[in-house]
Structure 1
Protein backbone atom coordinates (compact mmCIF):
# COMPACT_ATOMS: atom_id res chain seq x y z
CA UNK A 1 0.00 0.00 0.00
CA UNK A 2 1.25 3.56 -0.59
CA UNK A 3 2.62 6.14 1.81
CA UNK A 4 0.97 9.41 0.81
CA UNK A 5 2.14 12.77 2.16
CA UNK A 6 -0.35 15.64 2.09
CA UNK A 7 0.76 19.24 2.52
CA UNK A 8 -0.21 22.73 1.43
CA UNK A 9 1.06 26.24 0.85
CA UNK A 10 -1.39 27.55 3.44
CA UNK A 11 -4.26 26.09 5.41
CA UNK A 12 -6.26 24.24 2.77
CA UNK A 13 -7.84 21.53 4.88
CA UNK A 14 -4.85 19.18 4.95
CA UNK A 15 -5.77 17.54 8.26
CA UNK A 16 -9.45 17.23 7.36
CA UNK A 17 -8.55 15.69 4.00
CA UNK A 18 -6.07 13.28 5.62
CA UNK A 19 -8.68 12.21 8.17
CA UNK A 20 -11.30 11.68 5.46
CA UNK A 21 -8.90 9.49 3.47
CA UNK A 22 -7.95 7.51 6.58
CA UNK A 23 -11.58 6.97 7.58
CA UNK A 24 -12.71 6.08 4.06
CA UNK A 25 -10.05 3.60 2.97
CA UNK A 26 -11.28 0.10 2.24
CA UNK A 27 -8.08 -1.21 3.85
CA UNK A 28 -6.54 -0.79 7.32
CA UNK A 29 -5.25 2.77 7.46
CA UNK A 30 -2.94 4.98 9.47
CA UNK A 31 -2.71 8.74 9.78
CA UNK A 32 0.59 10.17 11.01
CA UNK A 33 0.15 13.79 12.09
CA UNK A 34 3.62 15.19 11.31
CA UNK A 35 3.02 18.93 10.98
CA UNK A 36 5.92 20.65 12.80
CA UNK A 37 3.53 23.49 13.68
CA UNK A 38 1.63 21.07 15.91
CA UNK A 39 -1.22 18.60 15.69
CA UNK A 40 -4.93 19.40 15.92
CA UNK A 41 -6.70 16.02 15.96
CA UNK A 42 -6.50 15.36 19.69
CA UNK A 43 -8.03 18.77 20.51
CA UNK A 44 -10.33 18.76 17.47
CA UNK A 45 -11.95 15.50 16.42
CA UNK A 46 -11.22 13.80 19.76
CA UNK A 47 -12.04 16.90 21.85
CA UNK A 48 -9.16 16.47 24.29
CA UNK A 49 -9.81 12.80 25.10
CA UNK A 50 -6.14 11.89 24.49
CA UNK A 51 -3.41 13.26 26.74
CA UNK A 52 -0.02 14.56 25.67
CA UNK A 53 1.36 11.23 26.90
CA UNK A 54 0.60 9.84 23.45
CA UNK A 55 2.08 11.11 20.25
CA UNK A 56 4.88 11.90 17.90
CA UNK A 57 7.18 13.72 20.33
CA UNK A 58 7.80 10.56 22.38
CA UNK A 59 9.34 8.79 19.38
CA UNK A 60 12.41 11.03 19.39
CA UNK A 61 13.77 9.53 22.62
CA UNK A 62 13.16 5.97 21.38
CA UNK A 63 14.93 6.72 18.11
CA UNK A 64 18.06 7.70 20.00
CA UNK A 65 18.21 4.15 21.39
CA UNK A 66 17.68 2.28 18.13
CA UNK A 67 15.29 1.19 15.35
CA UNK A 68 13.71 -1.65 17.33
CA UNK A 69 12.94 0.70 20.21
CA UNK A 70 11.50 3.21 17.76
CA UNK A 71 9.25 0.55 16.21
CA UNK A 72 7.97 -0.51 19.62
CA UNK A 73 7.39 3.10 20.68
CA UNK A 74 5.62 3.83 17.42
CA UNK A 75 3.21 0.93 17.88
CA UNK A 76 2.51 1.82 21.51
CA UNK A 77 1.60 5.40 20.57
CA UNK A 78 -0.96 4.53 17.89
CA UNK A 79 -4.54 5.39 18.79
CA UNK A 80 -7.68 3.82 17.26
CA UNK A 81 -9.97 6.24 15.46
CA UNK A 82 -12.72 3.63 15.10
CA UNK A 83 -13.14 2.38 18.66
CA UNK A 84 -12.38 -1.27 19.28
CA UNK A 85 -12.26 -2.20 15.60
CA UNK A 86 -8.70 -0.89 15.33
CA UNK A 87 -8.65 -0.62 11.54
CA UNK A 88 -8.13 3.18 11.57
CA UNK A 89 -5.22 4.44 13.62
CA UNK A 90 -3.54 7.73 14.29
CA UNK A 91 -0.17 8.89 15.50
CA UNK A 92 -0.96 12.27 17.04
CA UNK A 93 1.21 15.29 16.36
CA UNK A 94 3.18 17.68 18.52
CA UNK A 95 1.46 19.59 21.30
CA UNK A 96 4.01 22.41 21.10
CA UNK A 97 5.75 23.66 17.93
CA UNK A 98 8.90 24.16 20.00
CA UNK A 99 9.23 20.36 20.03
CA UNK A 100 9.79 20.26 16.25
CA UNK A 101 13.58 20.59 16.45
CA UNK A 102 13.77 17.35 18.45
CA UNK A 103 12.22 15.46 15.52
CA UNK A 104 14.73 16.58 12.89
CA UNK A 105 16.92 13.49 13.26
CA UNK A 106 13.93 11.16 13.75
CA UNK A 107 12.11 11.84 10.45
CA UNK A 108 14.22 9.42 8.32
CA UNK A 109 13.78 6.53 10.77
CA UNK A 110 10.07 7.28 11.15
CA UNK A 111 9.76 7.22 7.38
CA UNK A 112 11.21 3.70 7.37
CA UNK A 113 8.64 2.62 9.96
CA UNK A 114 5.76 4.11 7.97
CA UNK A 115 6.89 2.33 4.81
CA UNK A 116 7.11 -0.97 6.65
CA UNK A 117 3.53 -0.46 7.86
CA UNK A 118 2.50 0.13 4.26
CA UNK A 119 4.52 -2.62 2.61
CA UNK A 120 4.51 -5.41 5.21
CA UNK A 121 1.38 -4.76 7.29
CA UNK A 122 -0.65 -3.61 4.24
CA UNK A 123 -1.76 -0.28 5.68
CA UNK A 124 -2.79 2.76 3.70
CA UNK A 125 -0.52 5.37 5.28
CA UNK A 126 -1.34 9.08 5.14
CA UNK A 127 1.06 11.72 6.45
CA UNK A 128 -0.24 15.15 7.40
CA UNK A 129 2.84 17.25 6.62
CA UNK A 130 1.10 20.58 7.27
CA UNK A 131 2.08 23.85 5.69
CA UNK A 132 5.33 23.69 3.75
CA UNK A 133 8.05 26.24 4.42
CA UNK A 134 10.98 26.99 2.13
CA UNK A 135 14.47 28.28 2.91
CA UNK A 136 16.62 29.37 -0.03
CA UNK A 137 14.38 27.40 -2.37
CA UNK A 138 14.62 24.20 -0.33
CA UNK A 139 12.30 22.59 2.18
CA UNK A 140 13.06 24.04 5.60
CA UNK A 141 14.93 21.42 7.68
CA UNK A 142 12.99 22.15 10.89
CA UNK A 143 9.68 23.65 9.80
CA UNK A 144 8.91 20.77 7.40
CA UNK A 145 9.25 16.97 7.79
CA UNK A 146 11.32 16.94 4.59
CA UNK A 147 12.58 13.30 4.79
CA UNK A 148 8.99 12.06 4.94
CA UNK A 149 8.20 13.84 1.68
CA UNK A 150 11.39 12.64 0.02
CA UNK A 151 10.59 8.97 0.67
CA UNK A 152 6.83 9.13 0.09
CA UNK A 153 5.25 7.23 -2.76
CA UNK A 154 3.00 10.23 -3.45
CA UNK A 155 3.26 13.87 -2.36
CA UNK A 156 -0.01 15.78 -2.69
CA UNK A 157 -0.44 19.51 -2.39
CA UNK A 158 -3.94 20.23 -1.11
CA UNK A 159 -5.38 23.24 -2.88
CA UNK A 160 -8.76 24.91 -3.02
CA UNK A 161 -10.21 26.09 -6.32
CA UNK A 162 -9.72 29.77 -5.56
CA UNK A 163 -7.44 32.40 -7.03
CA UNK A 164 -5.75 32.96 -3.66
CA UNK A 165 -5.00 29.25 -3.18
CA UNK A 166 -3.65 28.89 -6.71
CA UNK A 167 -1.41 31.94 -6.29
CA UNK A 168 0.09 30.64 -3.05
CA UNK A 169 0.54 27.09 -4.33
CA UNK A 170 2.12 28.16 -7.62
CA UNK A 171 5.24 29.35 -5.76
CA UNK A 172 5.71 25.90 -4.19
CA UNK A 173 5.38 23.71 -7.26
CA UNK A 174 8.74 24.27 -8.92
CA UNK A 175 10.98 24.09 -5.81
CA UNK A 176 9.09 21.07 -4.49
CA UNK A 177 9.37 19.30 -7.83
CA UNK A 178 13.12 20.00 -7.83
CA UNK A 179 13.48 18.74 -4.26
CA UNK A 180 11.70 15.49 -5.04
CA UNK A 181 13.81 15.00 -8.17
CA UNK A 182 17.08 15.68 -6.36
CA UNK A 183 16.40 14.06 -2.98
CA UNK A 184 13.22 12.02 -3.25
CA UNK A 185 11.49 9.37 -5.32
CA UNK A 186 11.26 11.68 -8.33
CA UNK A 187 9.17 14.58 -9.52
CA UNK A 188 6.52 12.10 -10.67
CA UNK A 189 5.48 11.67 -7.03
CA UNK A 190 4.03 15.19 -6.99
CA UNK A 191 0.36 15.83 -7.60
CA UNK A 192 -2.58 17.92 -6.46
CA UNK A 193 -5.49 17.15 -4.17
CA UNK A 194 -8.26 19.55 -5.11
CA UNK A 195 -10.79 20.66 -2.50
CA UNK A 196 -13.82 21.80 -4.48
CA UNK A 197 -14.22 25.16 -2.77
CA UNK A 198 -14.10 27.96 -5.32
CA UNK A 199 -14.86 28.55 -8.99
CA UNK A 200 -11.97 26.66 -10.58
CA UNK A 201 -12.47 23.08 -11.74
CA UNK A 202 -9.98 20.25 -11.89
CA UNK A 203 -8.67 20.86 -15.42
CA UNK A 204 -8.27 24.59 -14.73
CA UNK A 205 -6.30 23.94 -11.54
CA UNK A 206 -4.05 21.41 -13.28
CA UNK A 207 -3.38 23.86 -16.11
CA UNK A 208 -2.73 26.80 -13.79
CA UNK A 209 -0.29 24.90 -11.58
CA UNK A 210 1.20 22.68 -14.29
CA UNK A 211 0.69 19.59 -12.15
CA UNK A 212 -1.80 16.72 -12.32
CA UNK A 213 -4.87 16.66 -10.09
CA UNK A 214 -4.71 13.14 -8.67
CA UNK A 215 -7.95 13.34 -6.67
CA UNK A 216 -10.85 15.65 -5.92
CA UNK A 217 -12.70 15.99 -2.62
CA UNK A 218 -16.07 17.77 -2.53
CA UNK A 219 -16.97 20.75 -0.38
CA UNK A 220 -18.92 19.00 2.41
CA UNK A 221 -19.18 21.43 5.36
CA UNK A 222 -21.09 19.15 7.77
CA UNK A 223 -18.67 16.23 7.47
CA UNK A 224 -15.64 18.54 7.47
CA UNK A 225 -16.92 20.27 10.63
CA UNK A 226 -17.14 16.93 12.43
CA UNK A 227 -13.63 15.89 11.37
CA UNK A 228 -12.32 19.29 12.46
CA UNK A 229 -14.10 19.78 15.79
CA UNK A 230 -15.63 16.41 16.75
CA UNK A 231 -18.94 16.16 18.55
CA UNK A 232 -21.90 14.10 17.45
CA UNK A 233 -21.24 11.91 14.43
CA UNK A 234 -23.27 13.33 11.51
CA UNK A 235 -26.11 11.20 10.23
CA UNK A 236 -24.98 9.14 7.25
CA UNK A 237 -21.32 9.94 7.97
CA UNK A 238 -19.93 6.87 6.19
CA UNK A 239 -22.04 7.66 3.10
CA UNK A 240 -21.30 11.39 3.07
CA UNK A 241 -20.00 12.93 -0.16
CA UNK A 242 -16.62 13.62 1.43
CA UNK A 243 -16.05 10.02 2.50
CA UNK A 244 -17.39 8.56 -0.74
CA UNK A 245 -15.01 10.69 -2.80
CA UNK A 246 -12.20 9.97 -0.35
CA UNK A 247 -12.62 6.23 -0.78
CA UNK A 248 -12.38 6.61 -4.55
CA UNK A 249 -9.26 8.73 -4.04
CA UNK A 250 -7.54 6.03 -1.96
CA UNK A 251 -8.09 3.54 -4.78
CA UNK A 252 -6.64 5.99 -7.29
CA UNK A 253 -3.58 6.57 -5.10
CA UNK A 254 -2.92 2.83 -4.86
CA UNK A 255 -3.00 2.43 -8.64
CA UNK A 256 -0.76 5.45 -9.27
CA UNK A 257 1.73 4.47 -6.57
CA UNK A 258 1.88 0.85 -7.75
CA UNK A 259 2.61 2.02 -11.28
CA UNK A 260 5.50 4.15 -10.01
CA UNK A 261 6.87 1.43 -7.71
CA UNK A 262 7.25 -1.00 -10.61
CA UNK A 263 10.09 1.21 -11.84
CA UNK A 264 11.53 2.05 -8.44
CA UNK A 265 11.47 -1.19 -6.45
CA UNK A 266 14.37 -1.49 -4.03
CA UNK A 267 15.18 -4.71 -2.16
CA UNK A 268 14.13 -4.56 1.49
CA UNK A 269 17.02 -3.75 3.79
CA UNK A 270 17.89 -5.93 6.78
CA UNK A 271 16.58 -3.15 9.06
CA UNK A 272 13.26 -3.13 7.18
CA UNK A 273 12.98 -6.90 7.52
CA UNK A 274 13.53 -6.69 11.28
CA UNK A 275 11.05 -3.84 11.66
CA UNK A 276 8.49 -5.71 9.57
CA UNK A 277 8.40 -8.59 12.03
CA UNK A 278 7.90 -6.28 14.99
CA UNK A 279 5.27 -4.07 13.39
CA UNK A 280 3.37 -6.98 11.85
CA UNK A 281 2.98 -8.62 15.28
CA UNK A 282 2.01 -5.35 16.91
CA UNK A 283 -0.39 -4.45 14.12
CA UNK A 284 -2.26 -7.71 14.53
CA UNK A 285 -2.28 -7.29 18.32
CA UNK A 286 -3.98 -3.92 17.93
CA UNK A 287 -1.26 -1.42 18.82
CA UNK A 288 -1.70 0.93 21.75
CA UNK A 289 -5.43 0.86 22.29
CA UNK A 290 -6.86 -1.58 19.73
Structure 2
Protein backbone atom coordinates (compact mmCIF):
# COMPACT_ATOMS: atom_id res chain seq x y z
CA UNK A 1 0.00 0.00 0.00
CA UNK A 2 1.14 3.62 0.22
CA UNK A 3 1.41 6.53 2.65
CA UNK A 4 0.96 9.79 0.74
CA UNK A 5 1.20 13.23 2.35
CA UNK A 6 -0.30 16.23 0.56
CA UNK A 7 0.67 19.81 1.41
CA UNK A 8 0.94 23.30 -0.07
CA UNK A 9 2.74 26.59 0.34
CA UNK A 10 -0.47 28.57 -0.02
CA UNK A 11 -4.09 27.60 -0.54
CA UNK A 12 -4.00 25.43 -3.66
CA UNK A 13 -6.77 22.92 -3.05
CA UNK A 14 -4.91 20.54 -0.73
CA UNK A 15 -7.99 19.13 1.02
CA UNK A 16 -9.92 18.70 -2.22
CA UNK A 17 -6.90 16.97 -3.82
CA UNK A 18 -6.33 14.69 -0.82
CA UNK A 19 -10.02 13.75 -0.71
CA UNK A 20 -10.03 12.99 -4.44
CA UNK A 21 -7.03 10.68 -4.03
CA UNK A 22 -8.64 8.91 -1.07
CA UNK A 23 -11.93 8.36 -2.93
CA UNK A 24 -10.13 7.26 -6.11
CA UNK A 25 -7.86 4.70 -4.46
CA UNK A 26 -8.30 1.19 -5.93
CA UNK A 27 -7.80 -0.18 -2.41
CA UNK A 28 -9.28 0.68 1.01
CA UNK A 29 -8.17 4.15 2.04
CA UNK A 30 -7.82 6.25 5.17
CA UNK A 31 -7.74 10.04 4.87
CA UNK A 32 -6.01 11.69 7.84
CA UNK A 33 -7.00 15.36 8.22
CA UNK A 34 -3.77 16.60 9.80
CA UNK A 35 -3.99 20.26 8.73
CA UNK A 36 -3.09 22.32 11.84
CA UNK A 37 -5.55 24.99 10.67
CA UNK A 38 -8.35 22.50 11.34
CA UNK A 39 -10.45 19.99 9.45
CA UNK A 40 -13.20 20.89 6.99
CA UNK A 41 -14.33 17.58 5.49
CA UNK A 42 -16.84 16.73 8.19
CA UNK A 43 -18.59 20.12 7.83
CA UNK A 44 -18.17 20.23 4.03
CA UNK A 45 -18.21 16.95 2.14
CA UNK A 46 -19.97 15.04 4.94
CA UNK A 47 -22.44 17.87 5.57
CA UNK A 48 -21.96 17.87 9.33
CA UNK A 49 -22.40 14.13 9.84
CA UNK A 50 -20.72 12.55 12.84
CA UNK A 51 -19.99 13.51 16.42
CA UNK A 52 -17.58 16.25 17.48
CA UNK A 53 -16.41 13.79 20.14
CA UNK A 54 -14.60 11.86 17.40
CA UNK A 55 -11.49 13.13 15.68
CA UNK A 56 -7.82 13.92 15.75
CA UNK A 57 -8.20 16.43 18.58
CA UNK A 58 -9.09 13.57 20.96
CA UNK A 59 -5.94 11.58 20.25
CA UNK A 60 -3.55 13.86 22.15
CA UNK A 61 -5.44 13.07 25.37
CA UNK A 62 -5.45 9.35 24.50
CA UNK A 63 -1.70 9.51 23.98
CA UNK A 64 -1.17 11.08 27.41
CA UNK A 65 -3.36 8.39 28.96
CA UNK A 66 -1.54 5.57 27.19
CA UNK A 67 -4.62 4.48 25.23
CA UNK A 68 -3.73 5.83 21.77
CA UNK A 69 -3.19 2.38 20.21
CA UNK A 70 -6.61 1.24 21.42
CA UNK A 71 -8.50 4.41 20.49
CA UNK A 72 -6.92 5.24 17.12
CA UNK A 73 -9.41 3.33 14.94
CA UNK A 74 -12.35 4.37 17.12
CA UNK A 75 -11.95 7.85 15.67
CA UNK A 76 -12.36 6.82 12.04
CA UNK A 77 -15.63 7.72 10.30
CA UNK A 78 -16.96 6.57 6.95
CA UNK A 79 -16.47 8.76 3.88
CA UNK A 80 -19.15 6.94 1.91
CA UNK A 81 -22.83 6.45 2.53
CA UNK A 82 -22.62 2.67 2.34
CA UNK A 83 -20.42 2.56 5.46
CA UNK A 84 -18.51 -0.30 3.87
CA UNK A 85 -15.26 0.56 5.65
CA UNK A 86 -13.48 1.00 2.30
CA UNK A 87 -13.26 4.82 2.51
CA UNK A 88 -12.46 6.14 5.97
CA UNK A 89 -11.65 9.53 7.49
CA UNK A 90 -9.82 10.53 10.64
CA UNK A 91 -11.41 13.98 11.11
CA UNK A 92 -9.12 16.88 11.87
CA UNK A 93 -8.81 19.45 14.62
CA UNK A 94 -11.88 21.50 15.42
CA UNK A 95 -9.85 24.59 16.39
CA UNK A 96 -6.35 25.69 15.28
CA UNK A 97 -5.59 26.40 18.93
CA UNK A 98 -5.49 22.62 19.46
CA UNK A 99 -2.46 22.21 17.17
CA UNK A 100 0.27 22.70 19.84
CA UNK A 101 -1.27 19.92 21.97
CA UNK A 102 -0.53 17.46 19.15
CA UNK A 103 3.24 18.08 19.13
CA UNK A 104 4.19 15.04 21.22
CA UNK A 105 1.57 12.81 19.57
CA UNK A 106 2.52 13.11 15.88
CA UNK A 107 5.36 10.58 16.17
CA UNK A 108 3.02 8.00 17.70
CA UNK A 109 0.41 8.65 15.03
CA UNK A 110 3.07 8.18 12.34
CA UNK A 111 3.76 4.70 13.76
CA UNK A 112 0.04 3.85 13.75
CA UNK A 113 -0.29 5.09 10.17
CA UNK A 114 2.54 2.74 9.20
CA UNK A 115 0.63 -0.13 10.81
CA UNK A 116 -2.54 0.91 8.95
CA UNK A 117 -0.60 0.87 5.69
CA UNK A 118 0.57 -2.68 6.43
CA UNK A 119 -3.08 -3.75 6.89
CA UNK A 120 -3.81 -2.94 3.25
CA UNK A 121 -4.92 0.69 3.37
CA UNK A 122 -3.69 3.55 1.28
CA UNK A 123 -3.20 6.39 3.77
CA UNK A 124 -3.62 9.92 2.46
CA UNK A 125 -2.48 12.69 4.81
CA UNK A 126 -3.95 16.15 4.34
CA UNK A 127 -1.18 18.27 5.86
CA UNK A 128 -2.59 21.59 4.69
CA UNK A 129 -0.41 24.65 4.29
CA UNK A 130 3.10 24.06 5.60
CA UNK A 131 4.26 25.89 8.74
CA UNK A 132 8.02 26.50 8.53
CA UNK A 133 10.29 26.91 11.54
CA UNK A 134 13.06 28.30 9.36
CA UNK A 135 14.00 28.41 5.67
CA UNK A 136 15.01 24.75 5.83
CA UNK A 137 12.89 23.22 8.60
CA UNK A 138 9.24 22.55 9.27
CA UNK A 139 7.77 23.52 12.60
CA UNK A 140 7.53 20.64 15.05
CA UNK A 141 5.39 22.52 17.56
CA UNK A 142 2.29 23.23 15.44
CA UNK A 143 2.84 21.19 12.26
CA UNK A 144 2.66 17.40 11.68
CA UNK A 145 6.26 17.21 10.41
CA UNK A 146 6.72 13.57 11.63
CA UNK A 147 3.93 12.43 9.29
CA UNK A 148 5.64 13.96 6.27
CA UNK A 149 9.02 12.55 7.28
CA UNK A 150 7.59 9.02 7.42
CA UNK A 151 5.49 9.24 4.23
CA UNK A 152 6.42 7.32 1.10
CA UNK A 153 5.87 10.47 -0.95
CA UNK A 154 5.05 14.08 -0.13
CA UNK A 155 3.03 15.88 -2.80
CA UNK A 156 3.29 19.67 -3.01
CA UNK A 157 0.02 20.83 -4.57
CA UNK A 158 0.46 23.66 -7.06
CA UNK A 159 -1.88 25.08 -9.65
CA UNK A 160 -0.52 25.62 -13.15
CA UNK A 161 -0.65 29.41 -12.76
CA UNK A 162 2.25 31.76 -12.26
CA UNK A 163 0.86 33.10 -8.98
CA UNK A 164 0.54 29.60 -7.53
CA UNK A 165 4.01 28.53 -8.65
CA UNK A 166 5.65 31.64 -7.20
CA UNK A 167 3.92 31.12 -3.84
CA UNK A 168 4.95 27.45 -3.84
CA UNK A 169 8.68 28.13 -4.23
CA UNK A 170 9.49 28.71 -0.51
CA UNK A 171 7.49 25.61 0.44
CA UNK A 172 9.37 23.53 -2.12
CA UNK A 173 12.69 24.63 -0.63
CA UNK A 174 11.64 23.88 2.96
CA UNK A 175 10.18 20.48 2.10
CA UNK A 176 13.18 19.46 0.02
CA UNK A 177 15.57 20.26 2.86
CA UNK A 178 13.34 18.75 5.54
CA UNK A 179 12.96 15.44 3.72
CA UNK A 180 16.63 15.29 2.72
CA UNK A 181 17.88 15.69 6.29
CA UNK A 182 15.05 14.35 8.45
CA UNK A 183 12.87 12.20 6.17
CA UNK A 184 13.38 9.41 3.65
CA UNK A 185 15.20 11.59 1.13
CA UNK A 186 14.56 14.64 -1.05
CA UNK A 187 13.21 12.39 -3.81
CA UNK A 188 10.15 11.74 -1.63
CA UNK A 189 9.00 15.21 -2.70
CA UNK A 190 7.02 15.60 -5.90
CA UNK A 191 4.49 17.98 -7.40
CA UNK A 192 0.77 17.35 -7.72
CA UNK A 193 -0.23 19.82 -10.42
CA UNK A 194 -3.81 21.06 -10.59
CA UNK A 195 -4.30 21.97 -14.24
CA UNK A 196 -6.06 25.29 -13.80
CA UNK A 197 -3.75 27.55 -15.80
CA UNK A 198 -1.57 27.52 -18.89
CA UNK A 199 1.89 26.85 -17.45
CA UNK A 200 3.36 23.57 -18.68
CA UNK A 201 4.47 20.82 -16.35
CA UNK A 202 8.06 21.16 -17.57
CA UNK A 203 8.11 24.89 -16.78
CA UNK A 204 6.71 24.30 -13.30
CA UNK A 205 9.23 21.56 -12.57
CA UNK A 206 12.10 23.73 -13.75
CA UNK A 207 10.93 26.71 -11.71
CA UNK A 208 10.46 24.77 -8.46
CA UNK A 209 13.25 22.22 -9.00
CA UNK A 210 10.84 19.44 -8.00
CA UNK A 211 9.64 16.63 -10.31
CA UNK A 212 5.97 16.39 -11.21
CA UNK A 213 4.65 13.11 -9.80
CA UNK A 214 1.03 13.47 -10.94
CA UNK A 215 -1.61 15.91 -12.08
CA UNK A 216 -5.32 16.52 -11.53
CA UNK A 217 -7.82 17.85 -14.02
CA UNK A 218 -9.28 21.30 -13.36
CA UNK A 219 -12.90 20.39 -12.59
CA UNK A 220 -14.73 23.06 -10.53
CA UNK A 221 -18.03 21.15 -10.43
CA UNK A 222 -16.55 18.05 -8.81
CA UNK A 223 -14.38 20.27 -6.59
CA UNK A 224 -17.59 21.87 -5.29
CA UNK A 225 -18.95 18.44 -4.43
CA UNK A 226 -15.79 17.49 -2.55
CA UNK A 227 -15.50 20.85 -0.80
CA UNK A 228 -19.10 21.65 0.05
CA UNK A 229 -20.99 18.38 -0.26
CA UNK A 230 -23.11 19.77 -3.08
CA UNK A 231 -24.17 16.45 -4.53
CA UNK A 232 -25.23 16.99 -8.12
CA UNK A 233 -24.66 15.49 -11.54
CA UNK A 234 -21.09 16.09 -12.63
CA UNK A 235 -18.64 14.72 -15.17
CA UNK A 236 -16.33 13.68 -12.30
CA UNK A 237 -13.28 14.41 -14.40
CA UNK A 238 -11.38 15.20 -11.22
CA UNK A 239 -11.95 11.71 -9.84
CA UNK A 240 -10.98 10.09 -13.13
CA UNK A 241 -7.72 12.01 -13.16
CA UNK A 242 -7.22 11.18 -9.46
CA UNK A 243 -7.36 7.48 -10.31
CA UNK A 244 -4.68 7.98 -12.97
CA UNK A 245 -2.64 10.04 -10.49
CA UNK A 246 -2.94 7.24 -7.95
CA UNK A 247 -1.50 4.72 -10.41
CA UNK A 248 1.47 6.96 -11.13
CA UNK A 249 2.09 7.73 -7.45
CA UNK A 250 2.03 4.05 -6.53
CA UNK A 251 4.64 3.32 -9.19
CA UNK A 252 6.87 5.89 -7.50
CA UNK A 253 6.12 4.45 -4.05
CA UNK A 254 7.05 0.96 -5.28
CA UNK A 255 10.35 2.20 -6.67
CA UNK A 256 11.23 4.18 -3.54
CA UNK A 257 10.39 1.29 -1.20
CA UNK A 258 12.62 -1.02 -3.20
CA UNK A 259 15.40 1.55 -3.04
CA UNK A 260 14.91 1.96 0.70
CA UNK A 261 14.54 -1.82 1.18
CA UNK A 262 10.99 -1.44 2.45
CA UNK A 263 8.03 -3.71 1.55
CA UNK A 264 6.54 -2.69 -1.79
CA UNK A 265 2.84 -1.76 -2.00
CA UNK A 266 0.45 -4.35 -3.38
CA UNK A 267 -0.68 -3.47 -6.89
CA UNK A 268 -4.19 -3.90 -8.23
TM-score by length of 2: 0.94
Question: Where does residue 187 of structure 1 map in the other structure?
Answer: 186
In 2: Cα distance, 1:159 partner to 1:142 partner: 25
Structure 1: which 4+ aligned runs deviate by more than 2 Å? Answer: none
Question: Where does residue 207 of structure 1 map in the other structure?
Answer: 206
Q: Does 1:264 align with 2:260?
A: yes
Question: Where does residue 160 of structure 2 map in the other structure?
Answer: 161
CA contact (8 A) 1:34 1:128 kept: yes
**1:139-193 deviation per Cα after TM superposition (whole angstroms, max 9, x unaligned):** 1123321111111110010000111111111112222211111110110100000
Shift of 1:115: 1.1
Matched residue of 1:185: which SS?
coil
1:117-266 equivalence runs, <5 A: 117-119=116-118, 121-137=119-135, 138-232=137-231, 234-235=232-233, 240-265=236-261
Unaligned residue ranges in structure 1 (runs of 5+): 268-290
Aligned length: 261
In 1: Cα distance, 2:120 partner to 2:96 partner: 31
Matched residue of 1:262: which SS?
helix
Matched residue of 1:35: which SS?
coil
Question: Where does residue 266 of structure 2 map in the other structure?
Answer: none
CA contact (8 A) 1:3 1:153 kept: yes
Shift of 1:255: 1.3
**1:200-224 deviation per Cα after TM superposition (whole angstroms, max 9, x unaligned):** 1212211111111101001101100
Farther off after superposition, 101-110 or 201-210: 201-210
In 1: Cα distance, 2:230 partner to 2:210 partner: 37
In 1: Cα distance, 2:221 partner to 2:168 partner: 26
Shift of 1:252: 1.3
Shift of 1:245: 0.8
In 1: Cα distance, 2:113 partner to 2:50 partner: 22
Q: Does 1:47 align with 2:47?
A: yes
In 1: Cα distance, 2:124 partner to 2:3 partner: 6
